[in-house]
Structure 1
Amino acid sequence: MNAVPRPLTALAAVLTVAAGLGVRLLWDGPVPKYAGDALYTVLIYTFVLLVAPRVRPWAAALVSAGLSWAIEFAQLGEIPAALRPLLGSTFNPPDLLWYAVGAGVAWVIHTVTRARLAR
């Protein structure tokens, strides 16, 4: 099983943050909100790869979606004020779908990248 090099994964994390900021600059309304949800999960996916570079893509997708969903469901309770900018404060059911989309996109990119690196 080949791993994506950590520098490439770190670059993907930086590009994910840049994409999230770019989406917020370019659009209003639901586009940046839901794109941000998907990109939030992609960022978690990159963090999973940085910690465990040999993780299988399906496992990284499940972990990143699972963490995103856990954070979303935690919003049903009280999130401390200091953590709200990072974790949010209001439960929104459609976010769960967009987290799955982000995990799926990251899974595809990871799978393709691993296959290309194996050649």
Structure 2
Amino acid sequence: MVVSATGFAGAAFTIRATMDGPIEQYSGAALSAAIVYTIVILIWPPISPLLAGGAAIAYCWFIEFAQLTPIPAALSQRSWLARQMLGARFDLIDVAWYPVGVIPLVAAHWFLRARTRSRTDPTPALTS
């Protein structure tokens, strides 16, 4: 999970450094949500994919709507890390892009979990 989160962060910073415009903005929101998803899995590995996805999206939305207050902007002016973690200003479009970063991970997690369970299922197959 640490490698995944680092990869998502690296992708976000690479896009930010090499591109400008909507791709930079939207991919940043989606990738930051993907990072949050991997952190949720790292903190609580047995969590279901759907619950992890819901938690990640809820957290991202909470942070985004908190930007309607002056607190994140004030903290972001003082710290580069706070700016990366909290942002500085509310953007309604980001609210829509957070699920875009999480839904593919939920699907992949669900698929891998089902595949792993089917391989380790001790119940013998029924034969006729």
Q: Aligned pair 1:85/2:77, yes or no?
A: no
- Looking at structure 2, the residues matched to 19 and 30 of structure 1 have their Cα atoms a distance apart, in angstroms, of 15
Which range moves more in the overlay, 52-61 or 14-23?
Answer: 14-23
Among residues 12, 16, 23, which one is paired with 2:8 in the alignment? 16
More RCO (CA 8 Å, sep 6+): 1
Q: Aligned pair 1:76/2:68, yes or no?
A: yes
TM-score, normalising length from structure 1?
Answer: 0.84
1:2-52 per-position Cα deviation (integer Å, ceiling 9, x unaligned): xxxxxxx22211221122123224422110110110010000000000000
Q: Aligned pair 1:117/2:116, yes or no?
A: yes
- Looking at structure 1, the residues matched to 59 and 53 of structure 2 have their Cα atoms a distance apart, in angstroms, of 10
Q: CA deviation at 1:72?
A: 0.2
Q: Aligned pair 1:37/2:36, yes or no?
A: no
Q: CA deviation at 1:112?
A: 2.4
2:93 corresponding residue in structure 1: 94
> Rg: which structure is higher?
2
1:3 corresponding residue in structure 2: none
Number of residues of Structure 1 aligned to a counterpart in Structure 2: 111
Which range moves more in the overlay, 71-80 or 26-35?
Answer: 26-35
Q: Aligned pair 1:28/2:27, yes or no?
A: no
- Looking at structure 2, the residues matched to 49 and 98 of structure 1 have their Cα atoms a distance apart, in angstroms, of 20
Percentage identity across aligned positions?
34
1:4 corresponding residue in structure 2: none
* 4+ runs deviating over 4 angstroms: none
Amino acid at match of 1:59: L
Computed over aligned residues only, the root mean square deviation of the Cα atoms, in angstroms, reads 1.5
TM-score, normalising length from structure 2?
Answer: 0.78
1:6 corresponding residue in structure 2: none
Q: CA deviation at 1:54?
A: 0.5
- Looking at structure 1, the residues matched to 104 and 46 of structure 2 have their Cα atoms a distance apart, in angstroms, of 18
- Looking at structure 2, the residues matched to 29 and 85 of structure 1 have their Cα atoms a distance apart, in angstroms, of 18
Gaps spanning 5+ residues in structure 2: where? 120-128
